[in-house]
Amino acid sequence: MKKIRTLVVDDEPLARERLTNLLSAEPDIEVIGQCRDGEEAATAIVDHTPDLVFLDVQMPAMNGFEVIDTVGSERMPLVIFVTAYDQHALKAFQVRALDYLLKPFDRDRFQEALQRARTYIQRDETGDIGRRLLALVKDLRRDQPKTDRLVVKSGGRLFFLRTDEIDWIEAAGNYVRLHVGPVSHLLRETMNAIEGRLDPEKFFRIHRSRIVNMERIQEMQPWLNGEYAVLLRTGTRLTLSRGYREKLQDRLARPV
């Protein structure tokens, strides 16, 4: 019997332990790992290609939806979300026919979700899951209001920063660094979260760890291995990675 290779992702140790214990009692399940945050999860999914992931939604640094965004919906395996979201937010899962466990859940509800996953896998009907995940992430982004002002804490003070003033943004661990002329500010956000809050007509992600204000771009020059150098009006030189080049072409409606 071929076992269903399963990954458990939750930032709470007791939640990981409970899920792992429940799964270990199932003869057709092989738990291939546990992840305590979204970054670990994204790496494990890419490296080990599990058949099934129990994915916590609310995690620090990178939440469950950001894991999907990072891995890419086409590479995500079958997902059972584990969440404490309220009933209103759960409509997003229900509309897309994606299963979830609402914390706290009992053994019967766990068995129901797992059996549904088994059916998908046995019938090899996981092909459209990626499209459903992509639609879910887009729906949630669409519902999130855009902002034109950010509040940054620094040295015990609060700075009210207009997003139009930002030249570019880079990842900095569990923070993002906002570059405003010669000054930079740290904000406790993930790249995916800050990207979702910014106006997509003004800001574009050119790299996994960089977002740029389109109005600050002076020119773009061909670089190495299909990448481009992005020169800002401030003199800063950034790199447009190959993975985001096609998205920029779609944005500009012309080849790059």
CATH assignment of the domain containing 170: 2.40.50.1020
Q: Do 166 and 226 have their domain in common? A: yes
Task: Write the pLDDT tens digit of every residue in 74-103.
Answer: 788 888 988 876 554 565 566 555 778 888
What distances in angstroms separate CA 209 from CA 39, 171, 255, one per listed residue? 13, 5, 23
Question: Can you give the pLDDT at residue 88?
Answer: 45
Q: Which amino acid is at 2?
A: K
- How many structural domains does the chain have? 2
Distances (CA, A) of 67 to 40, 87, 95, 160: 9, 22, 20, 29
Supply the range of the domain harboring residue 58: 4-143
* 140-158 pLDDT, tens digit each: 655 555 677 888 877 777 7
For residue 123, pLDDT over 80 is answered with no
Mean pLDDT (whole number) for 56-64: 79
pLDDT digits (tens, 9 = 90+) for 24-53: 999 999 999 999 988 899 889 989 999 999
C-alpha dihedral (55, 77, 75, 127), degrees to nearest 10 = -140
Question: Percent of the chain, pLDDT > 70?
Answer: 83
Identify whether residues 52 and 15 lie together within a single domain.
yes
Domain boundary among 90, 109, 143: 143
Instruction: State whether 119 and 231 are in the same domain.
Output: no
**Mean pLDDT over each residue of the chain, to the nearest integer:** 83
Q: Which residue has the higher pLDDT, 142 or 172?
A: 172
128 plus 28 within the same structural domain: yes
